[in-house]
Structure 1
C-alpha cells in the first residue's frame, strides 16, 4: 500500500489570506468565497474539518475559515511532496527525522489553530525520513501507515520490499496494534496512488500496483491486519488515471471501482457482485481508453461518468441502470474520467474537462455548470459547500 509521501512540519499560526472572490462562473453560481493558495503539485484533496478547510500550499499547510475562506493558521512544510491525513477530527502527520536516528515520530495537529496537539507515537524501529513512511488512512481512533524498518540500505526498490511493514497505531495510547509485511511502497508516486477506506471491521484499499497493469483491490481485518481477500480488476490499456486517495467508493455491501466497466465487489469475500458497461456506447472516446470514471455511492445508488456522454446512476445492489444524464455534452464539456462525482442531497456534481456540472438527481439534467481549472473537488457538507482546488486558488461553491 502507499499513496504519496506523507511527511510534515512545524511552525506558527498566522492570519490573513483574503477570501471574498469576484464572480467567475459560466451559467453557474457565484462562489461563496475564494482564497489564494499556490499549490503547483496538487498533492491531495482539501480536508473539511468542522469550521476549517485544511489544504496544502507549495510551502505550508493552511487552515482556511470555512465561512469566509480567510486563512486562520499556517504551518510551514519542510520539503515538497509532503502530505497529511485526517479522520475528520484532527490532522495527522510525522516529523521527518533526518539526523538523530530516533525513528518515526507521529503527531496530531489541531484543526482549530494548527498547533501541535501531541505526539501520537514514536516508532523507534522505523525510519522517519520522507521517502520511508507513507500514511494511508485514519479512522476509528486508529492510524494506518506503511513504514520502512531501520537498517535497510538498498536503493533497489525490489530488494526493499522485505523492509516495508503495514502498521496500525492507536491514536489515543500510541500503542502499535499490529504490523504486517507489505510490498514495496513508492512514496510521492501519484501513478501508484492507493485509496483506502475503513468500512465496518475491514480496511478496503485499491490502487494500481507497480508490477501489474490492472487495479488491485483488497480487504484487511482492522483488528489484526490479516489479509482477507484480494482481487485484480482489468484496466484499459490507455487508462493512465489512478484512484484518488480519500475517495474510494464503498458501502456496507460492496466496494466500487471502474475502468472499462463499473465493478461491484462484495466486501465479505471480494467476489464480483455485478458488472456494468457491456454493450454500452460510451460516446467519443479513445479506443482502449478509460470508459468510466471513478464511481461514487450514496443512498444505495452508484454514480459514474460514462465516456463522453455524462453520468449514469446504477442500483448499488444489482448494477441495474436507474437513469442516465439526459443531454449530450459538448466537446468542451466532456466528463473527466479521472475524478469521481460528488453526491449531494439534490445534485450530483460531475467534474468536466473545463469545470464542474450540477446534475439534478430528480430530473437528471444539469442545472448549472461552473467554469474552473480545478481538478480536486470535495464536499464540506456541514458548511453546505463544494470545495474546488486548482494550482492557485481554493474556491467554495454551494453544495446542495
Structure 2
C-alpha cells in the first residue's frame, strides 16, 4: 500500500502547532513509515510549513468558508501542506493538488475531499491573478511578512534596531551544511582535497575555525570517511567553542548540557592529550547521541545523566576548563528548527534566564582557581547572553572576562562577549563569553 506523504506531513504539523510537540521528535516517527527520497520530501514539506506558517495561514484564511476546528483540525494543516507545495516547491501544481486531495482518505475523512480540492484550486487562481499585477504591495503585517510571532519580532527590534529585518529574513532561509574535519585524521585543508576529489562543492571556509561550508547539503554517507570518523556535521558557529575553550594537555574538562555531543567530541579531537572529559546532560535520552558520536569518532569520555544546577553527580574533583552550553531559547537556530518560533513563548525567556543563572553559579564553583569557563548559548537575546554574563561578573569578584575578539574581526571589544547573528558569515546565531577564575 502506498503511504500518502501529505497526510503524514499534516499529522506532523498538527502535532507541533496544536499539541506543542517538538518537530525533532515528531518527524522521525512519520519518516519511519517511509523509505528513500520520500523521507526527504516529508521533511521538506514539514519544515516549509513551519517556516512560512503565518503566510500560509493568511493564504488559506481567505479561501475557507469558516475555520476548521475540533476533530477536523488536521485538515487545516493539510491545506497548509497543499499551499506550501504550490507556492514554494517545484512539484507540478496538478500533482500537488491531486496528492493533497488524496490525503483525505488515509486521514479517514473523505467528505473533506471536496473542500480541500476547492480551496487549493481557488488558491491557484489567486496566484494567477496576483502574477498579472506587477509590483503589487500587499502591506502585510510584520508577523505575516516575516513569518515570526509578534512578541519575538518586538524583542529583536528592541535588541537590534538596525539589523532586525536581516535577522528575521535569515531565519527563513534554509541552513547551510557545515563540516568539521577530525584533526586526528586530516587537517581541514587535507579534507578539502578529499571533498574536491569526491566532486563535493565547497562554498567557503571559515578563516578562524577552518570550518567547511558546503554549497548544498547532501547525505552524510557521501562524505569521504564519515563512517570512519574523518568528519562531522556541525554548524560553523558551534565549531568556535572548542577553539575558544583552548584546552591544554592534561586538563580536566567538563562539558555541561553536552547532548548531542558535537562540542564534546570537537574538544577531544583538538586536544587528545587532555587528562579527562566529563559530559553531562539532564535528559538521559539525549545522551544516546553523545555515545553514538563518541563511538563513531573512536573517542572516550565519561558521560553522565545529571542536572548541571546541582552537585549530586560531582566527584569532588575541580575542573581546569568548563564548557557551559546553557539551556536557552534557541532563537539563534530557528532556520534549523523552525518549530522554535511556535513552541517558544514570551514568558519562557524569564524562566530560562533564571535557570541559566542557577547553572552558571553552580558550575562556577566546580572550576579550579586559574581555570577557564566558556559560557555559550544558541540564542540572540541579550537577556540570556551579555546581560546574563554582566550580572555574573558583578556578583562574582573572582570572575574576569577574557576578550575573545582578537581572532574575530566582527566582534566589538566594548561588548560583553561575542554575539554571532544568523545573518553573519552564514552561521547560526551563537553567543560566547570566556571567563577566567582568579587564582
When normalised by structure 2's length, the TM-score is: 0.26
Larger Rg: 2
Structure that is richer in strand per residue: 1
TM-score normalized by the length of structure 1: 0.28
Q: Give the number of the structure with larger relative contact order, counting CA–CA contacts within 8 Å between residues 6 or more apart.
A: 1
